[in-house]
């Protein structure tokens, strides 16, 4: 269940406050807590996505409905055999793997930063808004797909799929909305060093990338970063959410490609569990072929800034 509730202070004129730490030191202290909390909320998106995926897979294996279109005479089959259901289930599982890798990468940088390793703090600052925002956005997407896999059963309480979606939906809101994460990325993390930390991340990914799809994302992020740095503040903020998603998909694609490469190496060496390693290879391939291309138009959206937003004033 989602740990949310309503809290009220001072209703009976007895609300007292105490100074914690040095005066005027509240904001730095809060962000020490807040940045770790944001990683934990990103992990919440991973956890709910994983549970929603497990439940949807189990249901799809047992729910029998209709014959396959390619074999109409064979009789009804479990819905996991239908292509569109397979698409949803693959998307759920692979997206969950990708955001898990993203959150783990951010937490690993937190460990490195605590040891004072060079560049770790700057990399952590970049990855934190990605982990929180993209992790929870995908948590919601996966939980929603889980409801869809269940069909009408997913919309009622008996199945439990709707509970996952409700639990996931708070995560893009608290510990700083995902819009705030995007604004933090472009307004503070990107602008404070003129994009140096972002270009370092892009260069590292470019040096390792093997697939054309990932290299395309790298080029798009490079162009979008340069574009953002030349924009005024309103255009930059209007473009911040698509920019965050573009960067997140690039990082997830990089991490998934790494996993696939390592899994292939272990298979060739005859090490590890074949089924698990085959699944990691297939997951990496699916992400780069089916998920990463979704980000293809985001660089153009970033370049458009706040174009068209002024029309909102025409609403009576």
* Contacts (Cβ under 8 Å, ≥6 apart) of 214: 205, 250, 253, 254, 257, 288, 292
Q: pLDDT tier at 8 (50, 70, 90 boundaries)? A: confident
Mean pLDDT of 21-29: 82
Amino acid 3: pLDDT: 66
Amino acid 1: pLDDT: 55
Radius of gyration of the chain (CA): 22
pLDDT tens per residue, range 209-220 = 999 999 999 999
Mind telling me the catalytic residues? Answer: 175
Mean pLDDT of 102-109: 98
Bridge partners of 225?
none
pLDDT at 163 over 70: yes
* Contacts (Cβ under 8 Å, ≥6 apart) of 117: none
Mean pLDDT of 65-84: 91
Q: pLDDT tier at 10 (50, 70, 90 boundaries)? A: confident
Do residues 164 and 52 make contact, with C-beta atoms less than 8 angstroms apart?
A: yes
pLDDT tens per residue, range 115-125 = 999 999 999 99
**Whole-number Å distance between alpha carbons of 178 and 183:** 9
The per-residue pLDDT of the chain, averaged, comes to 94
CA distances from 11 to 4, 5, 7, 14, 49 (A): 20, 17, 11, 7, 38
**Whole-number Å distance between alpha carbons of 158 and 96:** 24
Mean pLDDT of 134-163: 95
**274-286 and 83-114 helices cross at what angle (nearest 10)?**
100
Domains assigned to the chain: 30-176 (1.20.140.10), 193-305 (no CATH)
**Whole-number Å distance between alpha carbons of 128 and 80:** 35
> Where is average pLDDT lowest: 21-30, 40-49, 71-80, 212-221?
21-30
């Amino acid at each position: 269940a989602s740990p949310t509730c309503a809290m009220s202070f001072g209703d009976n004129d007895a609300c007292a406050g105490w100074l914690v730490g040095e005066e005027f030191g509240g904001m730095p202290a809060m962000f020490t807590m807040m940045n770790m909390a944001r990683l934990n909320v990103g992990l919440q998106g991973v956890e709910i996505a994983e549970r929603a995926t497990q439940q949807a897979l189990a249901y799809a294996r047992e729910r029998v409905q209709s014959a396959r279109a390619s074999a109409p005479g064979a009789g009804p089959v479990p819905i996991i055999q239908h292509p569109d259901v397979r698409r949803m289930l693959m998307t759920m599982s692979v997206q969950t793997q990708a955001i898990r890798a993203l959150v783990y990468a951010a937490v690993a940088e937190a460990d490195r930063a605590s040891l004072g390793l060079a560049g770790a703090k700057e990399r952590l600052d970049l990855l934190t808004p990605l982990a929180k925002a993209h992790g929870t956005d995908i948590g919601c997407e996966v939980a929603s797909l889980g409801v869809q896999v269940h069909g009408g059963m997913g919309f009622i309480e008996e199945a439990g799929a709707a509970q996952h979606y409700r639990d996931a939906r708070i995560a893009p809101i608290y510990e700083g909305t995902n819009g705030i994460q995007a604004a933090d990325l472009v307004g503070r993390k990107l602008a404070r060093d003129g994009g140096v930390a972002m270009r370092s991340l892009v260069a590292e990914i470019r040096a390792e990338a093997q697939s054309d799809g990932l290299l395309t994302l790298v080029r798009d992020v490079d162009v979008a970063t340069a574009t953002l740095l030349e924009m005024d503040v309103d255009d930059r903020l209007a473009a911040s959410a698509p920019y965050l998603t573009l960067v997140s998909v690039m990082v997830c694609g990089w991490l998934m490609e790494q996993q696939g490469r390592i899994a292939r190496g272990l298979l060739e060496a005859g090490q590890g569990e074949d089924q698990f390693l085959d699944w990691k290879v297939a997951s990496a391939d699916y992400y780069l072929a089916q998920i990463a291309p979704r980000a293809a138009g985001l660089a153009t959206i970033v370049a458009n800034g706040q174009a068209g937003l002024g029309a909102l004033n025409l609403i009576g």
